[in-house]
Amino acid sequence: MNFRIRNLLIIFTTMKMFRSRPSILLSIPLIAFTLLINGCKDDTEDPLPSTGSIKMTVEHYTGSTPLLLGQLNATNAAGNTYQVDLLKYYLSNVSLIRSDSSLFNLGNYDLIDADNPSSQIVRGKDIPNGNYIGIRFFIGVDSARNNSIDQSGDLDPSYGMFWPWNTGYIFFKHEGFYTDTAGNIQSLLFHYGTDIALATVSLPLSLEINGTEKSLNLRFDLNALYADPNIIDFNIDNYHQSDSGNDRNWIEALKQNFPQAFSISVIR
Amino acid sequence: MSLQRILFFVLFGAALLACNDDDLPQADGPTPYSLIIPSSLPGLPIPNNNPLTEEGVELGRKLFYDPLLSGNNTQSCGNCHNQADGFTDNQLQYSTGIDGISGDRNSMPLFNIGYANNFFWDGGATTLESQVVAPIMNPIEMHEDLANAISELNAHPDYPLLFNKAFGSDSITTSMVMKAIAQFERTLLSGNSKYDRYMKGQATLTPQEQNGLIVFRAAAKGDCTHCHTLGGTFTDFGYRNTGLDSIAVDSGRARITLNPLDLGRFKTPTLRNIAVTAPYMHDGRFFSLQEVLDHYNTGFHYPVNLDPNLRAAVKGRMTAQEMTDLIAFLQTLTDTDFLTNPAYGRP
């Protein structure tokens, strides 16, 4: 809308400058030229690089070891040996925090899949230049979008992260196996979600945006997710679909653990 | 008019029109659907982001009856939601999915569903649109991979054009499928039963039916109106534990809220067309209306979260004759016009 108002102002001003009849004719090419160059100009574009971008790569670990899918080789704080066959989750609303605590929210909804490297990159652009002291994001989908019917992009319900009985998304999925106390291999299924499960992760960060692209590394340690501060013992918790009152404590425990499971660093 | 003035208006128009494509009226967009709401029903809420259109409703109807949306292309929504049975499953207790597995809840009627705020027996779906994909994906129902359904639709000879007409794009998305079927379902309005005509002075109830209506309303007898509000939708859309079991077998509403107080609570179903939607209750355990009334008259249990109205109800308060009359009244809620209207059937 702004460009229209600007065009009108230019025309008014030009008309005033040429009050006499001959000069009106003169003003036609001037005004036409104005419309030509201004008519379709996007106001958000700025020739000066007053904004920059980020490229955040997510890496998955079990403790200090990079995550290997399909291997029964990880050990959590409860002493369970476990395996990850599927690890998918929503990482959304990545926001950079300024020193006055205000946020710049990328408004993203990224479905991260440990089995798909291209899904593990979160990009943000048009970030105002300046110094940022932290980053905040959600594991999951905020209530408004969780109950929306206009799902697109990574929120398309066809990605296997939409409950079959419930409106909304499975925020986090871990499927695999673990070895129980008797030494038997048992299956593990964690489907974490519902509005009460939205987990907020806030991390300190020293980042200057100065018109270029900055690369960040976000490390997600599954061992920490099952340890800090609430130890999850797969002998007790090995099957949760967030569909029963019995799931509440597990949801609450993971929600408290998520912030400790992530760490971030700036590469360049 | 001076040259200056003419010039001004010309340029004024040019300035306004510059970059104005987005505001131009869509000459060939979909045609708004004129929904006729029976006078016995309230105004129907339509979400702003999914207005009813002729093209959308017709597309939704085609999709509703198309087995393409199931995993092996053998079942459509219409298989378990049959018009003649009030869009329930052919008098069956449980429906059987494409893999021969049956569920544990009774197929729900779909008419007047646009009045509900939550869907399924436990209210798990919060929009009609999002409800649509659940039975399609459910492994014990249509067991289809949504991404596969979308690619089948995109490769179909007819669907891309139909979606383009309804939604302005022939690149079909899950969201469009959800919206189209929801549009069709919102048009399924039933409000022309004998009772409705009686209320408008166009029909008379027999003495037995009239007595049944009195039993329906009487607090010391049927006491039905707390939940099945008389007229309109014949439901308050609430969730209650009606004492079917002393300890709930199916967690019901608690599956969604994760709240133990909601164990065994299920949605109040409508009573419209109740005579054709047997069997009854969330698990279809009662095959006749007599069994249902026996439950409410003498059979209910006392779980901790039993509905307070039922807890206060005296057992054996209705005589056999009163229940017979009540059933006669419930049969006046059948809307034959709706059950046979070709507009709602297989295209």
Residue A66 lies in a domain: yes
Residues of A in contact with B14 (CB under 8 A): 35
What backbone torsions phi and psi does residue B107 show, to the nearest 5 degrees? -55, 135
- Does A166 map to a domain? yes
Write down the domain spans for chain B.
Answer: 54-189, 194-338
- Residues with Cβ < 8 Å from A132, sequence gap 6 or more? A96, A97, A98, A104, A205, A206, A207, A208, A209
- Rounded mean pLDDT of chain A? 87
Question: What tokens does B144 get?
Answer: 């289809």
Which range among A176-180, A223-227, A264-268 shows the weakest confidence by mean pLDDT? A264-268
DSSP B71: T
Q: Given a cut of 90, is residue A114 above it in pLDDT?
A: yes
Q: Which CATH class is domain B194-338?
A: mainly alpha
Tokens 């950079």 -> residue: A96
**Which regions in chain B score pLDDT beneath 70?**
1-27
Residue labelled with tokens 């574009």: A45
pLDDT confidence of residue B82:
97
pLDDT-derived band at A106 (thresholds 50, 70, 90) equals: very high
Q: How many domains does chain A have?
A: 2
Q: How confident is the model at residue A238 (pLDDT cuts 50, 70, 90)?
A: very high
The residue segments making up the domain with residue A117 are 51-266
Kindly state the greatest CA–CA separation across chain B: 93
Q: Which two tokens stand for residue B21?
A: 């494509």
Per-residue pLDDT at A12 exceeds 70: no
A46 in a structural domain: no
* Nearest C-alpha neighbor of B322 from the set B288, B294, B347: B294
* pLDDT for B116: 96
Nearest to B175 among A35, A150, A251 (CB): A150
ipTM: 0.80
Tell me what pLDDT residue A48 has: 66
Mutate to test the interface with A, among B249, B256, B265 (most CBs of A within 10 A): B256
Q: Closest to B126 (Cβ–Cβ): which among A31, A167, A248?
A: A167
Decide: helix, strand or coil at residue B37: coil
Residue A256 and residue A190 share a domain: yes
- Report d(CA A91, CA A207) in Å as an integer: 20
Give the B window 44-73 contacts with A, CB below 8 Å. 47, 49-50
- What pLDDT does residue A151 have? 77
Residues A17 and A69 in one domain: no
What CA–CA distance (Å, rounded) separates A250 from A196? Answer: 12
Tell me the pLDDT band of A166, cut-offs 50, 70 and 90.
Answer: confident
Which of B204 and A9 is assigned the larger pLDDT? B204
Residue A201 domain flag: yes
Taking phi over 0 as left and psi of -120 to 50 as alpha, with beta for the rest, B85 belongs to alpha
Alpha helices by DSSP H, listed for B249-288, are 254-257
Superfamily of domain B54-189: Cytochrome c-like domain (1.10.760.10)
pLDDT of residue B4: 52
Looking only at the bridges linking them, the beta strands covering B239-240 and A103-105 are: unpaired
Q: Is the peptide bond before A29 cis (omega within 30 degrees of 0)?
A: no
